[in-house]
Amino acid sequence: MLRLRLFYLLFLSVLTCGCNREKITPQNDPLGSNEAPYSDLSQPPVSVRWAESEPAPNLIEASVVGSSERIFLHPESIITAEDILHADGVISVSTHEPILMLLFTPEGEKKIATASSQGIGRRMALVIDGRVICALRVRGAIQKGAAIEGSFDLAECKRLAERIEHHREKQNP
């Protein structure tokens, strides 16, 4: 636990991505239904994918939960639950706002570092259980972890982290 807290303090500013969306309500709760609205996104259950604002061949149209925004996802995943070492909903030490904190495995670090360093300014979408939770603008190369901020309250961050942890544990028993 001390290692994770130290990590939060050292790497919190590695990446802070904004998610513009409405507050999650029972009607748009990304975890409120077992049915994925986009069957193409139902596997893997947790992934980060490139997202575009315009359609193109082979991209998958999707909407961001809690938003009317339509995005177009690349079918391949940058990372999946098996690349995540730990997920948690925490309060940022710098902004004092709730964030979803993701810490990556060594293999996940390599994948996300390569992709993010080549994609600064592009958007990445976080997909959980077939729903696009948010589409993030990459502001810098991601190394060991990512802090995802937006219109989340702490309870939402913790629920999303629990869902990620659930899938991570299923893939890495």
Q: What is the pLDDT of residues 93-147, one digit of tens each?
A: 999 999 999 999 999 999 999 999 999 999 999 999 889 999 989 999 998 999 9
The residue ranking higher by pLDDT, 3 or 124, is 124
Per-residue confidence (pLDDT) for residue 149, from 0 to 100:
84
Tally of domains in the chain: 1
State which H helix or E strand residue 109 sits in.
helix 106-118
**What CATH number should be reported for the domain holding residue 15?**
3.30.1360.200
Considering the entire predicted model, what is its pTM? 0.78
pLDDT band at 23 (very low <50, low <70, confident <90, very high): very low
pLDDT band at 7 (very low <50, low <70, confident <90, very high): very low
Query: CA 47 to CA 155: how far, in whole Å?
Result: 21
pLDDT band at 31 (very low <50, low <70, confident <90, very high): low
Residue 135 structural domain = 2-171
User: What are the pLDDT digits (tens) for 32-73?
Assistant: 544 345 545 446 899 999 999 999 999 999 999 888 899 999
Tokens encoding 2: 């001390």
Query: CA 172 to CA 133: how far, in whole Å?
Result: 23
pLDDT band at 173 (very low <50, low <70, confident <90, very high): low
